[in-house]
Structure 1
Amino acid sequence: MHAPRTALALTAVSALLTLSACTSGGATTPSAAQNLELTSTTPAASGALDEITWNLPLGEPTTLDPAKVGDYSPSTVVSNLCDPLLRLNADYSVGPGLATAWNRPDPKTLVLDLRDDVRFWNGRPMTAADVVASLERQRAAATRSVNTQVLATVRTITATGDHQVTVTFSTPDVLFLKYLVNGFGAVSEAAYLKKAGTSYGTARGGLMCTGPFELTGWKSGESITAVRNDAYWDTGLRPRAAKLTFKFLTDAGTLTSALLSGQIDGSYEIPSTVSKALRSSDTGTLYHGPSAQTVFVAPTGPTSPLADPRITQALSLVLDRDALVRNVFDGAARTEKTFIPSLVWKNSEAKDVYAKGYDALPAVPAADVTRARRLVDEADPKQRTVTVAMGAGDQQSLQILTFLQAGAKRIGLTLAIKQLQPTQMSGLFYDPSLRTGLDATMALGYVEIPDPLSYAEMFTSPASPMNWTHYDNPEVTSLLTRARATLDPEGSAQLFTRAQALYTKDLPIVPIAVPHERLFLNKRLSGAPASFAYLNMPWAAHLGATDGNAS
């Protein structure tokens, strides 16, 4: 992450406080981002390139094992190395990947038909045995998969042919198939997995996958390199770039200089604080795309003052989100009624049901300090100081929290900001010990699969490791459980929207905004998707030279 610029944060906060003081209630006006032109793709490339140097602004990955990938940096790399069974498209729709077709002979059975022309980088053919091994290993505690909850309803995963896999379930599961678009559905060679053991996905253990690029080097603290897979099974997507090098520039100023000088060819997740400098550059183009990212503040435990929804509602009421979008996100975000971005259901078969449910939710609240103060007085928390974690150097989060800090003071709360190093910040989402001494965290979250149910379950299910406050609304749990077991898209969506109407009232989360994807490309190349779907699709295989810049 990038180094903080306190002066910039205070300037933004000053502007936001001035605007907030003028607002007392009612719905927000359309945000400044509404007129920003969004694109899911960039112009098609026309030529080949010897090498592309790409940056990972959130730092070096800790692993490239697809089963353990659950963050921006590792997913950005792995999506070009290890193909999943299904492929996510730039518009968040789903299509065939290593699986060509799928069907359900009955509600508790899923049959996947696999491609018969796929080979791993070592030349060995991919078979159903490799798929079974890749999925089954994620049950084992030793794997430390971040996807264990996906297997909660799975009874068996078996090879029912050389190129066919059959999955059986204890109850029907609408989400399992959709999870096959990310690291959970990525296929590795079974023999290599067995040989590498726990070192799989490390600089020492390496990978053995089927993707458009092959991992060839990992120098800790310096770079990750991959080369074109000339035998890639998807002949229409064989990379135009011969070599792909990833760097780890986390400081916003350093990254900006590297992009403007051409040392770095491109990057996703461009910090909003440097958008203006890159937008006006003639070195390349800054693209804005639709995103499934979501920024919110969440309590880290049941004893946190924020575990009381009255406190989170109060903090929500000291935010002027439209001013925040303009000043902190440089207009490249939108306000939404929930912490789950609407993009994840916009291309669903049941999109009309989701849209109707969303429209029925209360409007995004405008700043109302008087009402916020009443809620705090009503809750009367024993602890008035709230320690909130954020990633060290994350300028955007610092600006948001500094503004929230000033607002909290006006309603009798003290907000202490604690900056954590990137690995510690990422780790606290999975390791309870890293949440000790914290009351809340700034979450830069995202929804990987095209279904809002997956994200809602994480925070509302009593069994979820992400339910840190022990939230337990039996009606919400029942509705979401039934939604997951309902294979009819509209029936599942109707159950979800009923649950959504309930948990938006009592789930202790402070939604901030839904940022747009920000991609910068040097003028010598083009072709990459500009939407957040890049995280689970082979985006680098689309990259190539622009006219006159081939090498």
Structure 2
Amino acid sequence: MQAHRSILTLTALSTLLTVSACTSGADTSSGSASPDALKLTSTTPAATGVLDEVTWNLPMGEPITLDPAKVGDYSPNTVEANLCDPLLRLRPDYSIAPGLATAWHRPDAKTLVLDLRKDVTFWNGNPMTATDVVASLSRQREAATQSVNAQVLASVTTIKASGDHQVTIRFKAPDELFLKYLVNGFGAVSEASYLKKAGSDYGTPKGGLMCTGPFELSGWKSGESITAVRNARYWDTSLRPKVKKLTFKFITDSSTLTSALLSGQVDGSYEISSTVAKALRASDAGTLHYGPSTQTVFLYPMSGSSPLADHRITQALSLILDRDALVKNVYDGAAQKLKTFIPSLVWKKSEAASVYAKGYDRLPAVPDVDISKAEKLVAEAAPKQRTITVAAAAGDQQSLQILTFLQAAAKKIGLSLVIKQLQPTQMSGLFYDPSLRQGLDATIVLGYVEIPDPLSYAVLFTSPDSPLNWVRYSNDEVTALQRQAQATLDPDASAELFVRAQALYTKDLPVLSIASPYERLFLNKRLSGAPASFAYINMPWAAYLGGTGETAS
């Protein structure tokens, strides 16, 4: 099975937000935001004016790289999505549209043909051709590239130019996921000659980038800022930026960020935390928008020896978790409960949305608190150890609140939760270095699904050969159904296979779904236009940004 790119983000001071249906409007009231009062929107009012400069914050800190092949985290994705166009484009409602590829077709089940735009140039004025697309995709096979997308190419046999503006990809077996991955960094196109010249420095302050996006990388001062200027020759005339210069800052402290947003030193930011949101709602400095998202928060065992590796223990914890109180007190009402760890926005705009919806409806309801039933499950599981050490990022107040909430409830059923706070780099390292998991039983996962297909995320935790299947979960029927789903090109048939697998792993996969928070976007009152949904992570959101005619206070 193909593994999804690196989409599990565990960083300090992050508030992770998730999914719901879209309506118009935004909530700017003070006080607690109840779920009923919140209005979700995928977009903000269209911008009308040109702005000389906008300062934007990256609350997760400075990116390590902007190489499209390596981005898989909030900060690098937020910047790179405005610089490097992918072959397909993600819309704010999480549907797919043409990007650098105008059309695609399948002559047979094992062949995909992409027709490319003929009017696209790189920032240096050189035309984009099939050669650049082949180089951009093929380099992600190479170990030296260290692409987070390498497994996406597992079933690919050849990638060749079949014309100056056409690329043909052949597969060992049909693969319904591959096309959808073209909406993110995997499908981004860089100039072939520039890639060769920059080598391993590509995407760094030293090596730079050469892409086709609406903004061009113009400067990167490590530890201070990244700057981009508008591409006046951008091929998509409807998205030629209204912002002349875009400066990214790296403020991770919530108090400092609140002051910067209220004073106008920073114009906007995604991933606004609950703490910051409360202060912003009481101000007239701008508007706080809530949007649908594919972010997800859950508790996940570190190994097969963890008490949580027994699904009866995760079920017991699920039964003592008062999610209504958690949503109100931890997320300030800006979140929702989920039956599974995959948010519904992932499939709501797909061709097989009705199939996925029926499958989701058939899943067991989110349980009410039932201490007695939880106690019985713990007794049945009879774990050798009743102390569970859970990792969380130091400074991530919401994760700490969630775990403290769960810690108090666990005592009622004879389990003890010990919270171990790790630095952000240690938390990220958990996913790549098994030695860092020693002495830990579980971690709170702040994840997100990048492409509009739930299978891409499910296989991370259910496929026997996935590097993230730490508990070595194995269900032959689930594996077979998911492999069939990936090899089935008919959307409804593939979705039906997936929901059958989902019904099975929901019963025995040791994952404790906690919540799916909404996206939070803040725009200074002089700004508008940016998408408010989590789709921003893989779309040129800043190209929509512009002025409202008002000045900042």
**Do the two structures share a fold, i.e. TM-score over 0.5?**
yes
Deviations 1:324-353 (A, max 9, x none): 111111111111110000011111111111
Deviations 1:25-82 (A, max 9, x none): xxxxxx9424421000000111111111111111111111111111111111110011
Asked whether the equivalents of residues 464 and 474 of structure 2 are also in contact (C-alpha less than 8 Å), the reply is yes
Asked whether the equivalents of residues 47 and 549 of structure 1 are also in contact (C-alpha less than 8 Å), the reply is no
CA distance in 2 between partners of 1:61 and 1:120 (Å) = 23
Question: Pairwise mapping of residues 218-233 of structure 1 onto structure 2 (< 5 A)?
Answer: 218-233=220-235
Question: Pairwise mapping of residues 135-534 of structure 1 onto structure 2 (< 5 A)?
Answer: 135-534=137-536
- Amino acid of the residue matched to residue 115 of structure 2? D
CA distance in 1 between partners of 2:147 and 2:482 (Å) = 23
Quote the offset at 1:176 in angstroms. Answer: 0.3
Quote the offset at 1:422 in angstroms. Answer: 2.0
- Amino acid of the residue matched to residue 243 of structure 1? K
CA distance in 2 between partners of 1:392 and 1:263 (Å) = 27
Deviations 1:94-119 (A, max 9, x none): 00000000000111100000011111
CA distance in 2 between partners of 1:115 and 1:194 (Å) = 23
Asked whether the equivalents of residues 58 and 422 of structure 1 are also in contact (C-alpha less than 8 Å), the reply is no
CA distance in 2 between partners of 1:431 and 1:185 (Å) = 27
**Which consecutive unaligned segments of at least 5 residues does structure 2 have?**
1-10, 15-32
Asked whether the equivalents of residues 212 and 228 of structure 1 are also in contact (C-alpha less than 8 Å), the reply is yes
Quote the offset at 1:185 in angstroms. Answer: 0.5
Q: Which of 50, 66, 69 is residue 67 of structure 1 equivalent to?
A: 69
CA distance in 1 between partners of 2:361 and 2:426 (Å) = 38
- Amino acid of the residue matched to residue 73 of structure 1? S
Identical columns (%): 76
* Secondary structure of residue in 2 paired with 1:67: coil
Q: Which of 37, 40, 46 is residue 39 of structure 2 equivalent to?
A: 37
CA distance in 1 between partners of 2:468 and 2:12 (Å) = 26
1:94 partnered with 2:96: yes
- Amino acid of the residue matched to residue 484 of structure 2? R
Asked whether the equivalents of residues 384 and 413 of structure 1 are also in contact (C-alpha less than 8 Å), the reply is yes
The equivalent of 1:53 in structure 2 is 55
- Amino acid of the residue matched to residue 499 of structure 1? A
* Secondary structure of residue in 2 paired with 1:450: coil
Asked whether the equivalents of residues 447 and 455 of structure 1 are also in contact (C-alpha less than 8 Å), the reply is yes
Deviates more, 1:479-488 or 1:188-197: 188-197
Asked whether the equivalents of residues 223 and 246 of structure 1 are also in contact (C-alpha less than 8 Å), the reply is yes
The equivalent of 1:119 in structure 2 is 121
Asked whether the equivalents of residues 70 and 148 of structure 2 are also in contact (C-alpha less than 8 Å), the reply is yes
Quote the offset at 1:549 in angstroms. Answer: 4.4
CA distance in 1 between partners of 2:51 and 2:34 (Å) = 38
Quote the offset at 1:384 in angstroms. Answer: 2.1
* Secondary structure of residue in 2 paired with 1:174: coil
Deviations 1:426-484 (A, max 9, x none): 23223333323322111111110111111111111111111111111110000010011
Asked whether the equivalents of residues 273 and 395 of structure 1 are also in contact (C-alpha less than 8 Å), the reply is no
* Secondary structure of residue in 2 paired with 1:418: strand
CA distance in 2 between partners of 1:516 and 1:334 (Å) = 8
* Secondary structure of residue in 1 paired with 2:260: helix
Quote the offset at 1:380 in angstroms. Answer: 1.6
CA distance in 2 between partners of 1:2 and 1:276 (Å) = 19
| TM-score when normalising by structure 1 | 0.93
CA distance in 2 between partners of 1:402 and 1:304 (Å) = 19
CA distance in 2 between partners of 1:495 and 1:511 (Å) = 22
- Amino acid of the residue matched to residue 339 of structure 1? F
- Amino acid of the residue matched to residue 94 of structure 2? Y
Deviations 1:346-387 (A, max 9, x none): 111111111111111100011112211221121122222222
Cα RMSD (Å) of the superposition?
1.5
**Which consecutive unaligned segments of at least 5 residues does structure 1 have?**
5-30
CA distance in 2 between partners of 1:414 and 1:510 (Å) = 16
CA distance in 2 between partners of 1:114 and 1:480 (Å) = 31
Asked whether the equivalents of residues 120 and 210 of structure 1 are also in contact (C-alpha less than 8 Å), the reply is yes
Asked whether the equivalents of residues 59 and 422 of structure 1 are also in contact (C-alpha less than 8 Å), the reply is no
CA distance in 2 between partners of 1:450 and 1:211 (Å) = 22
Asked whether the equivalents of residues 285 and 524 of structure 2 are also in contact (C-alpha less than 8 Å), the reply is yes
Asked whether the equivalents of residues 275 and 330 of structure 1 are also in contact (C-alpha less than 8 Å), the reply is no
Q: How many residues align?
A: 524
Deviations 1:303-344 (A, max 9, x none): 221111111111111111011111111111111110000011
CA distance in 2 between partners of 1:337 and 1:397 (Å) = 20
- Amino acid of the residue matched to residue 133 of structure 2? V
Asked whether the equivalents of residues 80 and 213 of structure 1 are also in contact (C-alpha less than 8 Å), the reply is yes
Deviations 1:240-294 (A, max 9, x none): 1111111111111111111111111000000012222111210000000011111
Deviates more, 1:283-292 or 1:371-380: 371-380
CA distance in 1 between partners of 2:292 and 2:13 (Å) = 26
Asked whether the equivalents of residues 12 and 424 of structure 2 are also in contact (C-alpha less than 8 Å), the reply is no
* Secondary structure of residue in 1 paired with 2:85: coil
* Secondary structure of residue in 2 paired with 1:33: coil
- Amino acid of the residue matched to residue 505 of structure 2? Y
Q: 1:352–1:463: structure 2 CA closer, same or farther, 3 Å change rule?
A: same
Quote the offset at 1:138 in angstroms. Answer: 0.9
- Amino acid of the residue matched to residue 522 of structure 1? N
Asked whether the equivalents of residues 13 and 60 of structure 2 are also in contact (C-alpha less than 8 Å), the reply is no
Deviations 1:515-537 (A, max 9, x none): 11100000011000000000000
Quote the offset at 1:423 in angstroms. Answer: 2.5
Asked whether the equivalents of residues 65 and 200 of structure 1 are also in contact (C-alpha less than 8 Å), the reply is yes
- Amino acid of the residue matched to residue 205 of structure 1? G
CA distance in 2 between partners of 1:111 and 1:194 (Å) = 25
1:537 partnered with 2:539: yes
Asked whether the equivalents of residues 86 and 185 of structure 1 are also in contact (C-alpha less than 8 Å), the reply is yes
CA distance in 1 between partners of 2:348 and 2:306 (Å) = 35
* Secondary structure of residue in 1 paired with 2:316: helix
Asked whether the equivalents of residues 483 and 492 of structure 1 are also in contact (C-alpha less than 8 Å), the reply is yes
The equivalent of 2:5 in structure 1 is none
- Amino acid of the residue matched to residue 432 of structure 2? Y
CA distance in 2 between partners of 1:235 and 1:434 (Å) = 48
